[in-house]
Amino acid sequence: MAELAGAFGVPHTPLLWRLMAEEPPPDLRVVADEFARFRALIEEAGPDVIVFVASDHFHQYSHRNMATFAVGKADVIAGTYPNEEASFGLPRIQVPGHPGIARAILGRETLGGRFDFAFSDEPRLDHAYVVPLLYLVPDLSIPVVPIHTNTNAPPLPTARRFTELGVYLREAIEAWPSSERVLVLGTGHLAYELGGPRQFSGESTDPDFDRSAVGWIRDGALTEAVEGCTFDRLLAAGNLSFQFLNFLTLAALSGTRATTAEGVGCRFGNEPFFSWDTP
């Protein structure tokens, strides 16, 4: 059976790539250091494949065609998009996929277990995937299975549904008949607003939410997290704060307190860094 090699949650703010291309400015130094530390942890974990939980930013999916949960299954997966090249300086990339474990998660003949996933045989990764991969697996050598979650276009899955996804992913990975080591990576935000009056204010849009969110992850307090992550509460924290729900998937998959739980302060607010040593 496949072995879980750990779980890690990181930010994906696309402007980080351009701003930290050479010497990071002082307020981003700690963000760069955390990415470097997590890169070393992932190298030490030695994964054979990465299952990557993230949310597309209206590139592959749109308001008129939005999958709630979708599995990307392809031999080779491309990223990014022309607007992200122009705006953020992100390079176009290709990463190997892993159709075998993608089908194990999705289901081969019938949809697996408790989740009726959508799927794509032509997934394309935007900055939510590309930025973490460039920092954590810079040679892009580890196969990736993208798990898309809808955190952008209501109606959204509930916080409880994200925790159920984590439990399901663990079961599917551990039931997969392989000796490969599978690392689960996720990305999202704490309190974060894009395009509104609180955008890039130099501080968190909701410090109280950030403290609660980091505490839930640190303590493995999933019941409190589910109760605290209502639609209205997340929206009040900022219009992209819904992406915090991806981290609840990792917490539920791990089933334990986090080893690392931080909101690293910088010009973009508090950037999340979470890790779990899955038994």
* pLDDT tens for each residue of 31-60: 999 999 999 999 999 999 999 999 998 888
Q: Which pLDDT tens digit goes with each residue over 1-31?
A: 899 999 999 999 999 999 999 899 999 999 9
Which one, of 3, 9, 77, lies nearest residue 248 by Cα? 9
Token pair 């729900």 in the structure block, residue:
245
Cα 226–Cα 228–Cα 234 angle in degrees, nearest 5: 105
Residue ranges of the chain with per-residue pLDDT less than 70: 112, 278-279
Q: How many CB atoms sit inside 10 A of residue 55's CB?
A: 26
By three-state DSSP, how is residue 76 classified? strand
Instruction: Quote the pLDDT of residue 10.
Output: 98
- Whether residue 145 contacts residue 98, with contact meaning beta carbons closer than 8 Å, is answered with yes
Render 158-215 in DSSP notation, one character per residue.
Answer: PHHHHHHHHHHHHHHHHHSS---EEEEEEE--SS--SSSTTTT-SS-S-HHHHHHHHH
Domains of the chain: 3-276 (3.40.830.10)
Instruction: Quote the pLDDT of residue 200.
Output: 72
Distance, CA of 241 to chain centre: 13
The whole-angstrom separation of Cα 252 and Cα 247 is 9
Instruction: Quote the pLDDT of residue 116.
Output: 87
Identify the DSSP state of 268: T
By three-state DSSP, how is residue 136 classified? helix
